[in-house]
Amino acid sequence: MIAFLDRLSPRERRLVLTAAALALLAGLWLGLVQPLAARQADAEATLSERQTLLVWLETQADTATRLRQRRAGALAGDAPRPRSLAEIEASLAEDGLRPALVKLAPKGPDSAEIVFEDVAWEALAAWMARTDIATGVARISVEARAAPGQVDAEIETRLAPPS
């Protein structure tokens, strides 16, 4: 290589060395700087996504704590579930779900079967949370209807023991 450069004129030598330096810089740019820049951009995007997730998780912490407490109460048997079919029917009427109720029947001495057709999912979920009926659910089946947000639902739930 040195012999090759010695045979070149000074002007050609400068031209070859300049081209080699530019090739080395281009190689460093393409092989080192660009991949590092891409990794940094990916890391910043991931950080942003995780910060957004953290904010969401922190807002949900209270809900999770409440649900854990309800679940613990349900396991201990002190959840305020409805005690009778009449209480269930009254709470459905109060929440405006009575028109979607197809069947409300006993299913054994301490459980009930509740069947809805074409009911708004949000309204059904809100009713279940308000009445704590979900803490006693033994079986639930929900099927989406053609209309957005509308479902058919079958719920089998345990009733709270009479006081």
CATH code of the domain in which 122 resides:
3.30.1360
Q: What is the pLDDT of residue 64?
A: 75
Q: What is the mean pLDDT of residues 38-46?
A: 94
User: Worst-scoring range by mean pLDDT, 31-35, 80-84, 158-162?
Assistant: 80-84
Domain count, the chain: 2
Q: Name the band, by pLDDT with cuts 50, 70 and 90, for residue 76.
A: low
Beta-carbon neighbour count of residue 119 at 10 Å?
A: 23
- From 76, 100, 120, give the residue that closes a domain: 76
Q: What is the pLDDT of residue 133?
A: 79
User: Are residues 69 and 97 located together in one domain of the fold?
Assistant: no
- From 76, 100, 117, give the residue that closes a domain: 76
Give domain status of residue 51, yes or no. yes
CB-CB contact of 16 with 8 (8 Å): yes
Q: Name the band, by pLDDT with cuts 50, 70 and 90, for residue 79.
A: very low
**Pairing, β 150-158 against β 137-144:** antiparallel
Q: At what angle do helices 121-131 and 85-94 cross, to 10 degrees?
A: 130
User: Are residues 57 and 117 located together in one domain of the fold?
Assistant: no
Tell me the C-alpha distance between 117 and 102, whole Å: 6
Q: What is the pLDDT of residue 105?
A: 93
- From 76, 94, 120, give the residue that closes a domain: 76
Q: Name the band, by pLDDT with cuts 50, 70 and 90, for residue 2.
A: confident
Amino acid at 75: L
User: Are residues 100 and 146 located together in one domain of the fold?
Assistant: yes
User: Are residues 72 and 100 located together in one domain of the fold?
Assistant: no
Residue 159 pLDDT > 90, yes or no?
no
Query: Which residues constitute the domain of residue 114?
Result: 85-158
Sheet architecture: strand order including 101-106 = 101-106, 111-120, 150-158, 137-144
Q: What is the mean pLDDT of residues 39-66?
A: 88
What is the rounded average pLDDT for all residues in the chain? Answer: 86
Strand (E) positions, the chain? 101-106, 111-120, 137-144, 150-158
Q: What is the mean pLDDT of residues 84-99?
A: 90
The total number of residues shown for the chain amounts to: 163
Q: What is the mean pLDDT of residues 7-30?
A: 91
Question: What is the DSSP code string of 101-129?
Answer: EEEEEE-STTEEEEEEEEEEHHHHHHHHH
**Pairing, β 101-106 against β 137-144:** unpaired
Residue 51 pLDDT > 50, yes or no?
yes
